[in-house]
Amino acid sequence: MVCHSQDDILNKDRLGAAWSKVQAAQRITLLTHFKPDGDGIAACAALEHLFLQKGKFVETIYPSAPEFAFTRQPKTVYINEHRQHPDLIIICDTANYDRAYYPDAFKGIPLINIDHHVSNSIDGVYNFVAFEWSSTCELLYLILKILAPECIDTTIAELLLYGILYDSQIFQTQATTAQTLTIAAELMHKGADLYALKTELIAHKDPHVIALWGKVLSSVVVTDNEKAVYAVVRQGDLQHYNIHLPALVGFHNFLSHISLVDVSVLFYEMENGNIKCSLRSKRYDVNAVARQFGGGGHKNAAGFISQEPIDTIIKRVVGVLL
């Protein structure tokens, strides 16, 4: 059963039953989604830290390497393989099984699902899914605050605030609420350094990044109905400035905030030739758009990956938005 209201999600009886599964397990495997992001990674790292303190054997599995060099990571991570046979699986920040490493060997093992995607379709023994909250880390903090408040040390506080900052775009998304800010303050009281974490997320060391951002901004296109803006990043651009895709961390958020247009779209040409499409909006349901192309996410932030030529997929996406 997937719960929607905060009272259901944080029901102490359900949380207590899930915690009993954790306490009984000796080997716990943590999962997050394909091309893991700062929220999913931080959630796994926080849980790993907690479980190691309790003497558990813990491993985290990413189905693929992260696109970006996140500074906060679990200690034991495997890419698209597992080394232990777990007693319990906890999947974080993942909308469906297709986006996770979930082999046949895992089927039948109790699974706890912690997420904030409106498109979540995972059916765990226990499902804690807070639709449209700022982040999985926001939800995880409230869960731990109920179950193990004494265990939220500075390390866990910093990891959870890192995940919240990443997914809320440093408190700028529509999903940022008074609750989000209250939780951030509580995590700061527990030792998390907001300024240092923010700097980790947005600072770029390579001055060529500024030149790349300027080039991409100079090519932004506004659709005829002025409903959307879009920009394209091609491999040739990255090669020209001798930088890689991680240099664009934060660019789309910047683009979405400097324009009054409702929808902003960023098309990335990846090294393998696939096209990654990232959508942001102020009001429009871009999750519905992404799902038409096999992707998903949230109402105001979603995306997908396509194998079609970049000019073809641009035409198709813009056609949906017109």
Q: What is the pTM of this model?
A: 0.81
CB 223 within 8 A of CB 318: yes
Spatial CA neighbour of 247 closest among 197, 201, 204: 204
Q: How many CA atoms lie within 13 A of 65 on its CB side?
A: 4
- The one-letter amino acid code at 31 reads L
CATH number of this structure's domain 208-321: 3.10.310.30
Return the CATH number of 6-201, one of 3.20.20.140, 3.30.70.240, 3.30.40.10, 3.90.1640.10: 3.90.1640.10
Residue 84 tokens read as: 């232990």
User: Is a pLDDT exceeding 70 seen at residue 254?
Assistant: yes
- pLDDT tens string 32-81: 999 899 999 999 999 999 999 999 999 999 999 987 778 899 999 999 99
The pLDDT, as a whole number, for residue 3 is 52
Determine the 3-state secondary structure of 203 from DSSP: coil
Burial class from Cβ neighbours inside 10 Å (0-12, 13-18, 19+) for residue 12 reads exposed
CB 77 within 8 A of CB 173: no
Of 101 and 256, the one with more pLDDT: 101
Residue 39 tokens read as: 């929220």
Spatial CA neighbour of 166 closest among 201, 114, 130: 201
- Cα separation values, 18 from 4, 11, 124, 144, 201, Å: 17, 11, 11, 12, 32
Q: Is the four-CA dihedral 73, 75, 79, 80 of positive or negative sign?
A: negative
- The one-letter amino acid code at 138 reads E
The pLDDT, as a whole number, for residue 112 is 98
d(CA 204, CA 202): 7
Looking up tokens 């990044």, which residue turns up?
A: 209
Neighbours of 40 (CB within 10 A): 33
Spatial CA neighbour of 126 closest among 29, 20, 12, 2: 2
Residue 279 tokens read as: 């959508």
Ranges of each domain in the chain: 6-201, 208-321
- pLDDT tens string 198-229: 888 876 556 777 888 888 888 889 888 888 89
Q: How many CA atoms lie within 13 A of 146 on its CB side?
A: 16
Residue 1 tokens read as: 């059963």
Burial class from Cβ neighbours inside 10 Å (0-12, 13-18, 19+) for residue 233 reads buried
Residue 15 tokens read as: 């949380």
| 208-321 and 6-201 share a CATH fold | no
String of b and e for 144-153 (b: at least 16 CB within 10 Å)?
Answer: beebeeeebe
pLDDT band of 7, cuts 50, 70, 90: low
Quote the radius of gyration of the chain (alpha carbons, Å): 20
**Region class of 88: left (phi > 0), else alpha (psi between -120 and 50), else beta:** beta
String of b and e for 101-133 (b: at least 16 CB within 10 Å)?
Answer: bbeeebeeebbbbbbbbbbbebebebbbbbbbb
> What's the chain's average pLDDT?
90
Spatial CA neighbour of 230 closest among 270, 274, 279: 279
pLDDT band of 247, cuts 50, 70, 90: low
pLDDT band of 261, cuts 50, 70, 90: confident
List for the chain the helix, strand, coil content (%; round to 5): 45, 20, 40
